[in-house]
Chain A
Amino acid sequence: MVKRIVSVAICVAVLLFIYAPILLLVVYSFTDSNVIGKWDGFSFALYADLFRDAEIMQILFNTVWLALVAALLSTALGTAGAVGIFYSKRKFAKPLQAASQIPVINAEIVTAISLALLFSALFLYRTYFSLIVGHMVLCTPFVVLSVMPKLKQMDPNTYEAALDLGASPSQVLFKVVVPQIFSGILSGFMLSITLSLDDYIVTAFTKPPMFDTISTYVYNAVKNGTNNSTPALRALSALIFIVMIAVLLVINLRARKPAQKEAAK
């Protein structure tokens, strides 16, 4: 009995440790004070401010738009890359796959600085192009990483069977290969969106001067160590947190359903 209580207590302590800062933020998003720590009574004022603030709304739109475009392009590129690696000769496939994963472990700041250098050499520094390419560099390896296992799980004979039944290689790709690896492509896409949404470093190094995403905006706003200037950001952060939790729940529940079906068989 004591053992049980201790183990539960430890779990709660760990979770508290992880979530305390966020909870604090969420709680203080419901009060209309300038600094965290001062409770001026419960109110939705910050949320109202948030949706009235045209600048923040524009930035929110920028962030989502950038995430969607970068994720779509990365997913297309990453899927093509994974398929290409998978169907190369073994001699090439291994080094190719290893090379495609180096950006994952590479420090993001290194990626960001190299991107900045490259684009200034190409006279494309701080343009929408450099921003989108920067985010693609960030996301594509993760798409490859999530599509690859699906390709490996696929029955390799289905590719040959489709060829055998008269489909051209490109027809095989779209009618047989892509549908079978679709769940991998989808999770690669979702991963790309989350990566792009909260990215600060690469964005900061590649964005056009007058363009801001939530990350860069928040960073600039709290640069001085306080967030006095825009308390509405507390509401925004709380909202993002809640939306993320909701998305995570939906994905997990969706993933469990087919698994249960499978298990039921």
Chain B
Amino acid sequence: MNEQKKEEMIIRLVNVSKVFDETTAVENVSFYVRKGEFITFLGPSGCGKTTTLRMIAGFDIPTSGKILLNGQDITDLPPNKRPVNTVFQRYALFPHYNIYDNIAFGLKMKKVPVTYRNEKGETYTKMQKLTRREIDEKVKNALAVVDLEGFEKRSVSTLSGGQQQRVAIARAIVNEPEILLLDEPLGALDLKMRKEMQIELKEMHRKLGITFIYVTHDQEEALTMSDTIVVMKDGCIQQIGTPTDIYNEPANAFVADFIGDSNILNGTMVDKLTVRFCNRNFRCVDDFERNEKVDVVVRPEDIEMCPPEQGMLVGRVVSVVFKGVHYEITAMVGRSEMIIQSTQSRTVGELIGMNIAPDAIHIMKKELTSNRYDGYITKKNTVVFGDGEFECDVTTLYPGSHLDEDGYLITAQGEKIDLTDADVSVEVGLTDIEISDNADEGGARGHIVSLIYKGDHYQYIVRTEENEEDFVLDTEDLWNENDYVSVKIRPENIHMKLKQEIK
């Protein structure tokens, strides 16, 4: 099995990194592409997808790592020696040549071995340029593939964007490369043209049997066209998989957010196959450790609306947007936002119930680095979150601000702001939370539901009674499970951000 896989592997990157003047564009990337595959690099701009492509083409040389083509190291091979051709985002046609000469450019450079037989009957091979006839034939075929027959004599500047892109594709495929690299080839086209070209490219891929490596930031394009998608972020690969896998089983919150619309919620595994989010327990199909902090992804189309009394969640509609095929409805459940896609409309202000099927809940491991809460500021300039009320420094919300005697915030520009009831997101580091036996001392109270020994310290989870909010903390002190404790956080360790501007 493994053997066979290796055999059909056409290109392989091994621990490839690329550093430009101290900024790391690609970091330790390893993957392989199978022969004949349509693979897409997907990610936001600056994620390193184009740099990866340029390294395969040979325009950029990796700072470290190896690139293998059919098992041979091509890391330092210049682009003109690689059996790889590129279609550029801005076409990069030669403006001083007509269409024929543009497409024939690669063929005129090419030398092929031709076998001769001399009078003595010995055969010998000579590297030879293609004949005029051969070139004519190939150019004609390539123009037929891209549907531009009869355009040979036209000049580049007389062509529309879509036609230029077809010429660029013809110019690349006419050389019969082993791999065709496409760097956001449809990025400069309008939507309708893009959709047409997507189908045509896919069809071309099927007919030609060439391996396509495609780069795009358009997730829909990636899902439509690819056999395999590589999702990248900050120079690192986030996930490699088929479009279905990537959509249904995103590896982390970034992938879930980038591929399609999604609701990403903080959750906790409270029992076997049971996850808690939005103050309610849900059955789910992903198994994780009990008490583990997780990211929960629910696709907007997987939320079913129902009368409020029948819903697992109840929320109030805050906006309805008509999107053509469906309505996009935003509802607030407590202080979390839920986006729902449905063919039915609702009115703003209406209470709706929501149901989510167990297999529509996708759970992802969360790298826990800090506690995050939704909170709000009170009249007394304290902050309420996690079922507790804490002293905080509201002047951190506006740089250079201070409080007047009446407790109003005066900004650096001298503006007076009433922060009462302002929604904030709150972040507290794991080591910034203290717990104490004295129930009146801290801002929130709860039971210790979990303790894990992490080598040199313990990690505790304190769960409140009312809404079952969790505080995760690292400390060297030893406590027991089920201890009732109060949670103390020093004001300077409560990091707050306003959710929206106060008017």
Contacts and interface: CB of A to CB of B under 8 A. Distances in A.
A176 B80 contact: no
Interface in B93-132: 93-96, 105-106, 109-110
Nearest to B174: A165
B79 A155 contact: no
B91 to A, nearest CB: 8
B23 to A, nearest CB: 14
A169 B105 CA distance: 14
A164 B109 contact: no
A167 B92 contact: no
A252 interface: no
A141 to B, nearest CB: 26
Nearest to B85: A164
B436 to A, nearest CB: 58
B96 A167 contact: no
12 contacts: A157-B92, A161-B93, A161-B94, A163-B78, A164-B57, A164-B80, A165-B85, A165-B171, A165-B172, A167-B109, A175-B105, A179-B96
Interface in B296-339: none
A171 B78 contact: no
Interface string B70-87: 000000001110001110
B408 interface: no
Given A158-B93, A180-B95, A167 B80 contact: yes
Nearest to A262: B157
Contacts of B95: 155, 158, 180
Interface in A162-221: 162-169, 171, 175-176, 179-180, 182
Counting chain A residues whose Cβ lies within 8 A of the other chain, the interface size class is 20 to 34
B90 interface: yes
A38 interface: no
B80 A158 contact: no
A265 interface: yes
Interface residues of B, number: 24
B105 A180 contact: no
A165 B59 CA distance: 12
A164 B105 contact: no
Contacts of A160: 57, 59, 79, 86, 88, 92
B175 interface: yes
A168 B80 contact: yes
Given A155-B92, A160-B92, A180-B96, A166 B106 contact: yes
**B79, B90, B106 pick with most chain A CB within 10 angstroms:** B79
A165 B105 contact: yes
A92 B58 CA distance: 23
A166 B92 contact: no
Interface string B43-70: 0000000000000011100000000000
A175 B58 CA distance: 20
A241 to B, nearest CB: 36
Contacts of B86: 160-161, 164
Give the top 5 A-B pairs by smallest Cβ distance, nearest first: A157-B92, A165-B106, A166-B109, A161-B92, A179-B96
Nearest to A163: B79
Nearest to B88: A157
Contacts of B85: 164-165
**A165, A176, A179, A182 pick with most chain B CB within 10 angstroms:** A165
Contact of B79 (A157, A164, A179): A164
A160 B78 CA distance: 11
A157 B88 CA distance: 7
Contacts of A167: 80, 105, 109
Nearest to B59: A160
Contact of A162 (B78, B90, B105): B105
A171 B94 CA distance: 14
Nearest to A167: B109
Contacts of B157: 265
B94 A176 contact: yes
A175 B88 CA distance: 19
Contacts of B58: 163-164
A160 B172 CA distance: 13
A157 B185 CA distance: 13
Contacts of A161: 86, 88, 92-94, 171
Contact of B90 (A155, A168, A179): A155
Interface in B182-237: none
A165 B175 contact: yes
B84 A162 contact: no
B117 to A, nearest CB: 28
Contacts of B110: 166
A161 B92 CA distance: 7
B87 to A, nearest CB: 9
**B57, B80, B96 pick with most chain A CB within 10 angstroms:** B80
Interface string A247-265: 0000000000000000001
Given A165-B106, A166-B80, A169-B80, 15 more contacts: A155-B90, A158-B92, A160-B57, A160-B86, A161-B92, A161-B171, A162-B94, A163-B79, A164-B57, A164-B59, A164-B84, A165-B105, A165-B171, A166-B110, A166-B175
Nearest to A165: B106
A198 B170 CA distance: 52
A265 to B, nearest CB: 7
A16 B380 CA distance: 83
Contacts of B93: 158, 161
B69 to A, nearest CB: 15
A155 B90 CA distance: 9
**A166, A180, A265 pick with most chain B CB within 10 angstroms:** A166
Nearest to B81: A166
Interface string B368-403: 000000000000000000000000000000000000
Interface in A123-178: 155, 157-158, 160-169, 171, 175-176
A161 B86 CA distance: 7
Contacts of A164: 57-59, 79-80, 84-86, 172
A158 to B, nearest CB: 5
A258 to B, nearest CB: 11
Contacts of B92: 155, 157-158, 160-161
